């Protein structure tokens, strides 16, 4: 993270990193990745490169326009930041994972909190902090991203500073669906067909391979999720809409150490007990109160018209949850 200091300037993160000692979503440094920037006469100063190459040729000290402090953001001034060999490799384009360009150089450092948003509770002005995670952050991949669960995952992940890689079926109104999911916080949206193309290798040069996959489809779709997981990743299956079995390659299990896990909410509630279930509900309520989680689109159907609700629930490409009113 390279720059002398940052005062009241900030850039929106992609994704927003979490910082020690803050351990929840209320504390996230609000500037590009976890790199250092410095307040200058014309705004925020940062060491930026717009293309890969030799660092002395492609890195420039630039003034960037700051954005307002969000309620869950932390504004820092960077005190010191190392230049590591890995940082040089990233700028040269020779590292395993590369950020989107233009990018701010560096990935480590120490900063001092100068201002916090009103939702931040665990750090205060004057505290010293270091980045707990690399600037590239983590990502989650899921299929059926337009489902009720998928929409909730997008919003909760965004609140936690996680990228989401969202897979949907191709459809006539794909652009409309894409716009709606991006409005919820989805960063990346692909169709099932796009995920099978060789170009996805280039995509994962800029985005870290996810450690968590959420599967509610099964069949070929779940195989694609496993294929894109990072080493040691886990795929959690909570549904099987395709009514097809999950097929895992031997190489995924042996050489990538991929783990397969099932999730059934009914059993989870039995295993965890009432207190844990209440804690989960209250956590979701906190997201709702902060405006970070909204309900999926719903269609209210009178009880006597139950057949309409049943028919709509079985139609393809219907993203609206059918609610029976009594």
Residues with a catalytic annotation lie at 95
Q: What b/e sequence results for 209-243 when a residue is b if at least 16 CB atoms lie within 10 Å of its CB, and e otherwise?
A: bbebbbbbbbbebbbbbbebbbeebbbbbebeebe
- Cα–Cα–Cα angle for 87, 187, 25, nearest 5°? 75
In degrees rounded to 5, what are phi and psi of residue 320?
Answer: -90, 130
Interatomic CA distance for residues 168 and 165, integer angstroms: 10
Confirm if 166 and 181 have CB atoms less than 8 A apart. yes
- Cα–Cα–Cα angle for 121, 126, 132, nearest 5°? 65
Beta strands 103-104 and 234-237 are unpaired
Confirm if 16 and 31 have CB atoms less than 8 A apart. no
| Closest among 260, 239, 265, 261 to 249, alpha carbons compared | 260
Q: What b/e sequence results for 33-44 when a residue is b if at least 16 CB atoms lie within 10 Å of its CB, and e otherwise?
A: bbbbbbbbeebb
Interatomic CA distance for residues 2 and 91, integer angstroms: 13
């Amino acid at each position: 993270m390279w720059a002398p200091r940052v005062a009241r300037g900030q850039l929106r993160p992609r994704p927003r990193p979490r910082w020690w000692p803050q351990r929840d979503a209320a504390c996230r440094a609000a500037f590009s990745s976890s790199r250092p920037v410095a307040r200058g006469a014309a705004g925020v100063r940062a060491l930026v490169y717009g293309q890969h190459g030799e660092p002395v040729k492609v890195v420039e000290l630039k003034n960037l326009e700051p954005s307002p402090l969000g309620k869950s953001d932390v504004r820092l001034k960077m005190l010191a930041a190392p230049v590591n060999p890995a940082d040089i490799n990233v700028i040269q384009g020779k590292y395993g994972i590369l950020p989107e360009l233009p990018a701010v150089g560096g990935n480590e450092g120490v900063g001092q909190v100068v201002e916090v948003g009103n939702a931040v509770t665990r750090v205060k002005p004057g505290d010293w902090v270091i980045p707990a995670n690399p600037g590239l952050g983590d990502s989650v991949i899921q299929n059926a991203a337009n489902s009720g669960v998928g929409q909730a995952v997008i919003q909760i992940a965004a609140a936690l500073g996680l990228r989401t890689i969202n897979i949907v079926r191709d459809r006539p109104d794909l652009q409309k669906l894409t716009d709606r999911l991006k409005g919820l916080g989805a960063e990346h949206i692909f169709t099932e067909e796009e995920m099978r193309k060789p170009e996805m290798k280039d995509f994962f040069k800029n985005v870290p391979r996810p450690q968590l996959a959420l599967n509610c489809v099964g069949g070929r779709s779940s195989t694609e999720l496993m294929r894109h997981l990072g080493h040691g990743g886990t795929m959690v299956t909570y549904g099987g809409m395709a009514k097809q079995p999950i097929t895992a390659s031997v190489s995924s299990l042996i050489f990538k150490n991929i783990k397969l896990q099932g999730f059934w909410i009914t059993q989870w509630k039995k295993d965890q007990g009432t207190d844990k279930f209440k804690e989960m509900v209250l956590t979701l309520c906190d997201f709702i109160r902060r405006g970070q989680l909204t309900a999926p689109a719903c269609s209210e159907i009178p009880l006597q018209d139950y057949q309409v609700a049943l028919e709509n629930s079985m139609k393809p490409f219907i993203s609206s949850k059918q609610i029976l009113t009594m």
